[in-house]
Each structure stands twice: as structure tokens, then as C-alpha cells.
Chain A
Amino acid sequence: MEALVSKKAPPQDASGAGYGKSRPASATHKALITRNLKLAYGQVASEPVPKRLLDILSTLDSAEDKKS
């Protein structure tokens, strides 16, 4: 299959990764990525916490009850 050719510059470092210090992420990329990261993170963080997780914390109460 014929490969599609990228308009982007080829990788710059020897590893082929192309993400070395010489090519930092642009401010536009940073802003776009940060915005989407916060959106995705916020979506999860705003979900109600499952009861099974809260139930685990109730063991703190019962442990304290046993002590007293």
C-alpha cells in the first residue's frame, strides 16, 4: 500500500522519536492539549464516586469504633 506523505518535518533525533529538546511543543499545542486534558480530567472528577469506594472508607469508622 502506498504510504501517505506527511507535510510535517521528519524526526530530528537519532532515536527516530523526533521529540527531543530541540523541538519543544508549541504554545498552541500546549494550550490545546492542556484544555482537552482538563476537560477529560474534569469529566471524570465530576462523576459521582461509586459506592464501593466510599464503603472502603467506612472501615476507618469501624476501626475507630473498635478502638474506643
Chain B
Amino acid sequence: MNAPGAFKAELIELLPSLRAFARSLAHNSAQADDLVQDTLVKALANVERFEPGTNLRAWLFTILRNHYYSQLRKLKREVEDADGKFAARLAVRPEQDGSVDLEDFKVAFSQLAPDHREVLTLVGASGCSYEEAAQICGCAVGTIKSRVNRARRKLADLLGLDDEGQPIPSEGRMIEDTASV
């Protein structure tokens, strides 16, 4: 193990990105911080397993991810839009100015499957390489690349973007959640 002071300093430095990664998986800040808290407790309990000189960020992200999916399996929690709030929100967007409101983006992002949220966050926001993301997710680099592409397509679809990245006017869009009602 590294010297405790240096190890702790590195942990503190990584906390903001660990929280941001947790927020991309969990659905609220309290749940995300619980996830980070559990991750830290697990990391400290297993600190002797961490090899100095290896990637601490990947190690922590992997612990967090594994814990998240473990909890998800236990709770069998499914993300859904049962009350149609998300569909309604997209349907009533007042202006189409060629940009995407960040809050709308967050809502759309939250509708993605967890494995799509995690790869987009790792590769698109946290600065992980495809190789590092593959290490964290425990899969092949090619799998990460194709998953990222599918996630982007899905997100663009949820945001109602056309091929030029422009929001499609609501009267011409399919509101999938209500189409079968």
C-alpha cells in the first residue's frame, strides 16, 4: 500500500469524480453519496489488495460499479417512466432553438439503461480511455465502443434529435410512451 498520507490525498482528489460517476448511476444525490460512502468503506477494508502504482481511479470506480449492480440486483429496481412525466415533458418543450437544455438532457440521460449511463459517463465525461472503461466494466474494449455508440444513439433518440443534432419539432415526433395508449 502507498504511504497512508499519499493514499488519502489521492482518494480525496478522486472523490469529486467518484461522486460524479455515482450520480450517473444513482437517481438522486443522496443515493449517489451512499454509494460513494459504501465504496470508500469497502476500499479501506480492502486497501491491502490495492497494488501501488496501479490505477486507483479504476480500482475505486470498479468497486463502486460492482456495489451498484449488486444493490440493483438485490432490489430488482427498474428504471421506468410509469407516469409518463418524461414523455410529457418532451412533448411540451416550448422552443426548438437547436440546443438541448441541460435539465432535459439529465432527464433523458436518466432514462438510459445503467450500462449505457456508465459508459457514457466514463468515456464521455470522466476522461477515461476506452481501455480504462473496459477495465472498470470488466469487458472488452470493443464492447465498450459499441456500447458507447448505442448509448449515444439511444440518448439522441430520447432527446428527439434529428441527424443534424436539432430537436425534432414535437408535432413530428413519436412519443413512444404514449403511442400505444
- Residues on A facing B (Cβ under 8 Å): 1, 3-8, 17-21, 23-26, 28-34, 36-42, 44-47, 49-50, 52-54, 56-57, 59-61, 63-64
Which chain B residue lies CB-closest to A21?
Answer: B146
CA distance A17 to B181 in the complex (A): 20
In the complex, the chain A residue whose C-beta lies closest to that of B170 is A4
Does B100 sit at the interface, judged by CB under 8 A? yes
Q: Which residue of B lies closest to A56 (CB)?
A: B40
Cα(A12)–Cα(B155), bound, Å: 17
| Chain B, Cβ-Cβ closest to A19 | B153
**In whole angstroms, what is the CA distance A33 to B12 when docked?**
28
**Residue from B156, B168, B174 in contact with A33 in the complex, judged by beta carbons closer than 8 Å:** B156
Rounded to whole Å, the gap between the CB of B55 and the closest CB of chain A is 18
Q: List, sorted by A's number, 21 A–B pairs whose CB atoms are closer than 8 Å.
A: A4-B171, A17-B154, A18-B153, A21-B146, A24-B149, A28-B161, A28-B163, A29-B163, A33-B124, A33-B152, A39-B105, A40-B109, A41-B121, A41-B126, A44-B20, A45-B17, A56-B41, A57-B12, A57-B40, A60-B7, A61-B4
